[in-house]
Amino acid sequence: MSAQTTILKARWLLPMSPGSQVLNEHALVIQGERIAAILPWAQAAQQFPDAATVELGEHVLIPGLINAHTHSAMSLLRGVADDVPLMDWLNNHIWPLEKKWVSEDWTYQGSLLSACEALRGGVTYLNDMYFFPTAMARAALDSGLRAGVSINVIDFPTGYAANAGEYISKGLEAYEQYKGEKLLDWTSAPHAPYTVSDETFIQLRDLRDRLGLQMHCHIHETQFEVDESVKQHGMRPLERLNKLGLLDSRMMAVHMVHLNEAEIAMLGQQGVHVVHNPNSNMKLASGVCPVTALEAAGVNTVLGTDGAASNNRQDMFGEIRAAALLAKGVTQNSTTVSARTALEMATLRAAKAMGREADLGSLEVGKLADVVAVSLAALECRPVYNPEAQLVYVAGREHVSDVWVGGKQLLKNRLPTQLDQAAVLDRIEAIVAQMKAQR
- Domain definitions of the chain by residue range: 5-64+361-406, 65-353
How many CA atoms lie less than 13 Å away from 210 in the CB half-sphere? 8
d(Cα 110, Cα 264) in Å, to the nearest integer?
A: 36
Helix (H) or strand (E) holding 29: strand 26-31
Determine the Cα–Cα distance for residues 367 and 360; give it in Å rounded to an integer. 6
Superfamily for 65-353?
Metal-dependent hydrolases (3.20.20.140)
**Domain formed by 5-64+361-406, architecture:** Roll (2.30)
Q: Which of 301, 352, 354 lies closest to 185, judged by CA?
A: 354
| Beta-strand relationship, 184-190 and 146-153 | parallel
Q: Do domains 5-64+361-406 and 65-353 have the same CATH topology?
A: no
Beta bridge partners of 258: none
pLDDT (0 to 100) of residue 2: 61
Structure confidence by residue, pLDDT tens digits, 101-133: 999 999 999 999 999 999 999 999 999 999 999
- Measured in degrees and rounded to the nearest 5, phi and psi for residue 379 equal -55, -40
Q: How far apart are CA 131 and CA 127, in angstroms?
A: 13
Rounded Cα distance between 277 and 281, Å, is 6
Q: Are 45 and 331 in contact (CB under 8 A)?
A: no
Tell me the pLDDT tens digit for each residue of 319-328.
999 999 999 9
pLDDT for 89 equals 87
Where the chain has pLDDT below 70, the residues are 1-2
- CA distances, 325 to each of 74, 290, 333 (Å): 27, 13, 10
